[in-house]
Amino acid sequence: MPGDRTNLPRLALHVPEPQFRPGDAVDFAGVEIPAAGAARRPDTAEAAGEFRDLAYTLVRVLDENGRATGPWDPKLSPETLRRMLRSMALTRAFDERMFRAQRQGKTSFYMKCTGEEAVAIGAAFALDRDDMCFPSYRQQGLLIARDCPLVDMMNQIYSNTGDKLQGKQLPIMYSEKRFGFFSISGNLTTQYPQAVGWAMASAAQADTRIAATWCGEGSTAEGDFHSALTFATVYRAPVIFNVVNNQWAISSFSGFAGAEATTFAARAVGYGMAGLRVDGNDILAVYAATAWAAERARTNQGPTLIEHFTYRVEGHSTSDDPSQYRSAGEPTAWPLGDPIQRLKDHLIGMGEWDEERHAAMDRELAEQVRAAQKAAEGNGILGHGLHQPLDTLFDGVFEEMPWHLREQRQMMLDEETASGRPWDRK
């Protein structure tokens, strides 16, 4: 028996609790936001151990007045800034129309990235077009910024006759080799070790292409995350790890993934890896951090982990009701603002944009998305039955179909014919 411990307090289990629940007033005054331009920008060849502080602060370029400041300012041309603004606005317009399509029963599922557009668009502009992206399910902006046809994306969402994936993926789980966009998986963070493997192969072949991958803050608790970071560090794989800390993993807040103890960028410190914590609603900061990490990867300095500090404005998906677990006031109270508005204000402040042109752009993009939807729906929608020949169910698994699958496919077709009720293919 242990000795007498009556003088010791009883052990207690800590269960993380979000700051605000439904009905609570929201006050984000406790969120520390360093001044824009305050974080130093180390040389890309500097050893990771020399700038650990950047994993605990916040790299910011745009200040509260929309001005770009500090050493991370990428000093992009006005034309590039307008293209970035257009890509973010197009992504949001696409999201809005596809969200409505789901509510109309035209597809089963959709996920918006409202408020997080800068994370994908900023990275897409900083990476080379032939760099390989291993995204999670809220980086549709990568495809849009790389000019993937909206009709092709919608065909996949509708699982129709134009769907190149033959209806075999959930809506929004795109796969686009043409645009360096690896197949999205519903299993969280599987793309992390895949990205490291691809990057290691690129390095082994003396290529010049690098990999970038994304996950949410909640899935940093997955084993795949840590396996990937170990391999990337050991082999100095040319890969950029992006952790999108949008505060909520479905209905679980970031505290369950460790946010109460430290930052997610600090995960890099334990691996001896470069780590940056970035204002995810500041597209100039996202661009600058990604460009810095890309240069580091291309010059054999190893991987970088970037935490994008942002907020998920909408529900996790169309299957989610965030009013059941968080205060309705959170999205509008988030202190880092809206990424589209911030870039718009920056351009207006430079004299390179105005409200009239912005309104005209929004109208043009809304029409572009509407026209794409009309074209995609001409190929069918999810609710109108099977759009692919039934025997294609077995395609795409093996390069050459083995005998037992050929037998199973024939049995299925024979049973379909014998039933007298062929699958609905309208």
Closest by alpha carbon to 280, among 121, 66, 133? 121
Q: Is residue 352 part of a domain?
A: yes
- pLDDT value, residue 426: 42
- pLDDT value, residue 425: 46
**424 pLDDT above the threshold of 70:** no
Q: Are residues 185 and 138 in the same domain?
A: yes
- pLDDT value, residue 390: 82
Tokens representing residue 220 in the block: 């940093």
Q: Are residues 327 and 414 in the same domain?
A: no
* Model confidence pLDDT, tens digit, residues 222-245: 999 999 999 999 999 999 999 999
- What would the DSSP string read from start to end of 57-76? S-B--B-TTS-B-STT----
Q: Are residues 152 and 238 in the same domain?
A: yes
**45 pLDDT above the threshold of 60:** yes
Q: Is residue 203 part of a domain?
A: yes
The domain of 413 spans 389-419
Into how many domains does the chain fold? Answer: 2
* Model confidence pLDDT, tens digit, residues 76-121: 999 999 999 999 999 999 999 999 999 999 999 999 999 999 999 9
Q: Is residue 26 part of a domain?
A: no
Q: Is residue 200 part of a domain?
A: yes
Q: Are residues 317 and 412 in the same domain?
A: no
Q: Is residue 18 part of a domain?
A: no
Q: Is residue 327 part of a domain?
A: yes
| Helix or strand holding residue 245 (H, E) | strand 239-245
Q: Are residues 97 and 121 in the same domain?
A: yes
Q: Are residues 161 and 258 in the same domain?
A: yes
Q: Are residues 107 and 241 in the same domain?
A: yes
Q: Are residues 403 and 276 in the same domain?
A: no
Q: Is residue 28 part of a domain?
A: no
Give the mean pLDDT of 2-17: 86
Q: Is residue 16 part of a domain?
A: no
Q: Are residues 358 and 404 in the same domain?
A: no
**384 pLDDT above the threshold of 90:** no
- pLDDT value, residue 346: 98
Q: Are residues 378 and 396 in the same domain?
A: no
Three-state secondary structure call for residue 274: strand
Tokens 């000795």 correspond to 3
- CATH number for 205: 3.40.50.970
